[in-house]
Amino acid sequence: MTSLPRKDLFDLPPGVIYLDGNSLGPLPRAAGARAARVLQDEWGTQLIRAWNSAGWMDLPARVGNRIAGLIGAAPGSVATGDTLSIKVYQALDAALKMRPERKVILSDSGNFPTDLYMAQGLIDTMGRGHRIVTPASQDVVSAITDDVAVVMLTQVDYRTGRVHDMQAVTEAAHAAGAVMIWDLAHSAGAIPVDLTASAAEFAVGCTYKYLNGGPGAPAFIYARPDVIDGVAPALAGWMGHAEPFAMARDYTPAMSTERLRVGTPPVIQLSILDAALDAFDGLSMDDIRAASVALSDRFIAEVERRCPMLRLVSPRDAGQRGSQVSFAHEQGYAAIQALIAQGVIGDFRPPDIMRFGITPLYLDEADIVAAAERIEAVFRDETWRAPEFNVRSRVT
Amino acid sequence: MTSLPRKDLFDLPPGVIYLDGNSLGPLPRAAGARAARVLQDEWGTQLIRAWNSAGWMDLPARVGNRIAGLIGAAPGSVATGDTLSIKVYQALDAALKMRPERKVILSDSGNFPTDLYMAQGLIDTMGRGHRIVTPASQDVVSAITDDVAVVMLTQVDYRTGRVHDMQAVTEAAHAAGAVMIWDLAHSAGAIPVDLTASAAEFAVGCTYKYLNGGPGAPAFIYARPDVIDGVAPALAGWMGHAEPFAMARDYTPAMSTERLRVGTPPVIQLSILDAALDAFDGLSMDDIRAASVALSDRFIAEVERRCPMLRLVSPRDAGQRGSQVSFAHEQGYAAIQALIAQGVIGDFRPPDIMRFGITPLYLDEADIVAAAERIEAVFRDETWRAPEFNVRSRVT
């Protein structure tokens, strides 16, 4: 299978081939109606009563359960809300408290920077001499020594798409007595994940990429059911309290991952995310993966045949590659701008990486071939030389 | 002035008198169109490019500047995003780092619980022997001793509406060498606030109450411009980085309060909040305050005349009262449910408080008198005895 019958669920502009769903998924058609409903019928009509009558209080858990189904997690083990950065902080805080005698956070040099910034911020606030170690990704397993408190990795590298072996790394972490945290930012909705089988203690992720939840959609956090009862959250917000509306003076954590909720949930964005998740109904992640691999292999073949000046930086072996394909070129920034101007939307990551997200929910083989043709043209005609494609913007 | 010509900016259900805008403001008419625009024209059409082309990257700062104008803060001093709980954590973290030798967080016993939970969570994570002291609100100033690192208070008590004297308390805190944090949850958009004149170091607040930003609308944080450069955030997210898209390995904080941004901003809810703030355009907080006081005084007079069994727990002196009026009654819970069933929406807070938010943007004298009449009827006819009004729900 190289395409899935879901393209009509998305509202893509005419002429656009969207290869940036790994950065911001496109608008699901269902989102507009759901947003209108939550505004008019819930907020507008039910007002404060909607916390009960429209089920807002339970919305984070309901959405969490839908995400759980996509990442191999048990019902009740995924909480939603906040941003991925906050969820990283919560997972790290919980993990470090589980291994108070150990002082190393092991990550890798390819991790998304905010994960490391949040780790450093937590370390500085704790002030107990923790440190971050970031070997190259291929050296992580050999770096898991018995002073490692927690191994925290993004499963799919945001630049290259290289995938860590979740099972093997988690086993190595546990063998050394370390806690395992997976960042699934580029995994959830992109590749099959089986958190339960991995036995990892924590996982976090965002929902605005492959899950198409919209700009700034809420993040999620998973905790293994047998460890959550021991977690005393640093971010002890009232929505994680066992009885939020008792307004008690002291904090009593809620059962299960509900305690990793913090403040008032972003009801409108959660509702839109809920509607976006409909696109996954009736599909298995294995089906999506099969389509992604076929499209990605075809994309690599087409681009390499047409553009010998581009260097593949994603793993050629689909088994080691997430749902994106990256090529390097010294003019990558300008080339991406030239492509965007022609409606082929990918993105650029420093220093020289052209990223293309392969998202079979709304891409098919014809899109992939057309994109490769236009990439060929940009380099053949040196379209990228135009001055307007060489102005750096804040976001690409 | 007892009413403001803004009622037509809100989409209130027919027959409803909404006295719960201190918990969740009603739907502004502009919100629906703005939500549709951000979904279709920005997310749907511009896709990832909207971070630049639709100004999403700068949206948190633009909205922050509009809030700044309502709380007497300088442009650039207010960051938006996350929840109020998270912003409390950030402010406390920054404040405690400014007074490392002091160990007391002074609040009051009436503070909203989540502020104290977040403080305790930070204390436990820091592990350096800090403690929280919570005297009664009237005893706070005398409790500011020279071991107090930070005084953290909610300016308007969420149950009674009692207002702390921002200027006097801040001066007392500073005289003792403590840092001052104000929680403006029940102040922003409700009463005039002059943060600059107060010289408080930090303030935080939410936007879904008097600012009508919608359920789960993003929070805000203020930092005094001369202290922000010394703040090393615990929650060091990439959106608070000086150059988020450089994807640098190490965290370099952005200038000004931008460093108190954390993760990817909730663009859709921020946009709706932005539209909601239009209701304040062309009004001064002094005008709003004058209308609020007149309506509140009338409400107290009407209810006291009609319902001698109710006990006023808000200050009678308008100068010491925020923009809400609370009465106590042992059957307060059931009475509020009975009122809601008749379209007069207030809320209940344990143990016995009936809360009524007075919000002159969409309430006028006729509403206030009609509400008092229905409260009278509920107690006269003992409507509250009906079994359906005596079932406790999770949220009231």
Task: Give the model's pLDDT for residue B393.
Answer: 64
Contacts of A85 in chain B (CB under 8 A): 235, 237-239, 262-263
Domain shared by A21 and A68, yes or no: no
In the stretch 289-348 of chain A, residues with CB closer than 8 A to chain B read 340, 345, 347
State pLDDT tens for residues B335-377: 999 999 999 999 999 899 999 999 999 999 999 999 999 999 9
Q: Is B97 a catalytic residue?
A: no
Check whether A282 has a pLDDT greater than 90. Answer: yes
Q: CA A50, A52, A58, A62 torsion: positive or negative?
A: negative
Catalytic pick from B209, B224, B259, B261? Answer: B209
Task: Give the model's pLDDT for residue A255.
Answer: 86
State pLDDT tens for residues A342-383: 999 999 998 999 999 999 999 999 999 999 999 999 999 999
A36 touches chain B (CB under 8 A): yes
Contact between A32 and B39 using a beta-carbon 8 Å cutoff: yes
Whether B313 is in a domain gets the answer: yes
State pLDDT tens for residues A216-236: 999 999 999 999 999 999 999
Q: Is B7 a catalytic residue?
A: no
Domain shared by B253 and B139, yes or no: yes
Domain shared by B139 and B173, yes or no: yes
Domain's final residue, options A211, A232, A264: A264
Task: Give the model's pLDDT for residue B395.
Answer: 54
Q: In what order do the strands lie in the sheet with A202-205?
A: A78-81, A219-223, A202-205, A179-183, A148-154, A104-106, A131-133
Pairing of the two strands B202-205 and B179-183:
parallel
CATH code for the domain in which residue A104 is found: 3.40.640.10
Check whether B4 has a pLDDT greater than 80. Answer: no
Contact between A36 and B35 using a beta-carbon 8 Å cutoff: yes
Whether B271 is in a domain gets the answer: no
**Measured between alpha carbons, how far is residue A385 from residues A171, A299, A310, A326, A351 in Å?**
49, 24, 16, 21, 18
Domain shared by A254 and A108, yes or no: yes
Per 3-state DSSP, chain A is made up of helix, strand and coil in percentages (nearest 5) of 45, 15, 40
Give the nearest chain B residue to A394 (CA atoms).
Answer: B245
Contact between A206 and B264 using a beta-carbon 8 Å cutoff: yes
In this structure, the number of other CB atoms found within 10 A of the CB of residue B377 comes to 17
Check whether B3 has a pLDDT greater than 60. Answer: no
Whether B49 is in a domain gets the answer: no
Whether A373 is in a domain gets the answer: yes
Average pLDDT score over residue span B234-259: 91
Q: Is B367 a catalytic residue?
A: no
Domain shared by A312 and A352, yes or no: yes
Whether B148 is in a domain gets the answer: yes
Domain shared by B102 and B250, yes or no: yes
A117 touches chain B (CB under 8 A): yes
Average pLDDT score over residue span A99-118: 95
Give the nearest chain A residue to B14 (CA atoms).
Answer: A45
Task: Give the model's pLDDT for residue A392.
Answer: 79
Domain shared by B72 and B184, yes or no: yes
Domain's final residue, options B264, B291, B309: B264
**Nearest C-alpha neighbor of B105 from the set B149, B144, B139, B135:** B149
Average pLDDT, chain B: 95
Whether A83 is in a domain gets the answer: yes
Domain that holds residue B364: 7-28+283-390
Phi, psi at residue A221, to the nearest 5°?
-140, 135
Domain's final residue, options A234, A264, A294: A264
Cα–chain center distance at A151: 18
Domain shared by A289 and A250, yes or no: no
CA–CA min distance A210, chain B (Å)? 13
In the stretch 253-272 of chain A, residues with CB closer than 8 A to chain B read 262-270, 272
A392 touches chain B (CB under 8 A): no
**Nearest C-alpha neighbor of B368 from the set B357, B354, B379, B380:** B357
State pLDDT tens for residues A381-391: 999 999 999 98
Position B247 confidence tier, pLDDT thresholds 50, 70, 90? confident
Share of chain B above pLDDT 90, in %: 93
CB B180 within 8 A of CB B150: yes
Q: What is the ipTM of this complex?
A: 0.96
Q: Is A209 a catalytic residue?
A: yes
Average pLDDT, chain A: 95
Q: What's the total number of domains in chain A?
A: 2
Phi, psi at residue A174, to the nearest 5°?
-65, -35
Check whether B384 has a pLDDT greater than 50. Answer: yes
Domain shared by A169 and A116, yes or no: yes
Instruction: Dump the DSSP string for B377-396.
Output: HHHHTTGGGSGGGGSPPS--
Burial class (CB in 10 A: 0-12, 13-18, 19+), B387: exposed
Whether A133 is in a domain gets the answer: yes
CA–CA min distance B320, chain A (Å)? 23
Domain shared by A254 and A124, yes or no: yes
CA–CA min distance B276, chain A (Å)? 13
B244 touches chain A (CB under 8 A): yes
Average pLDDT score over residue span A28-40: 98
Task: Give the model's pLDDT for residue B30.
Answer: 97
Domain shared by A319 and A203, yes or no: no
Task: Give the model's pLDDT for residue A115.
Answer: 96
Domain shared by B87 and B143, yes or no: yes
Whether B225 is in a domain gets the answer: yes
Average pLDDT score over residue span A235-240: 92
Instruction: Dump the DSSP string for B66-80.
Output: HHHTTTT--TT-EEE
Share of chain A above pLDDT 90, in %: 93
B11 touches chain A (CB under 8 A): yes
Least CB–CB distance from A268: residue in B117, B127, B214: B214
CB B201 within 8 A of CB B98: yes
CATH code for the domain in which residue A386 is found: 3.90.1150.10
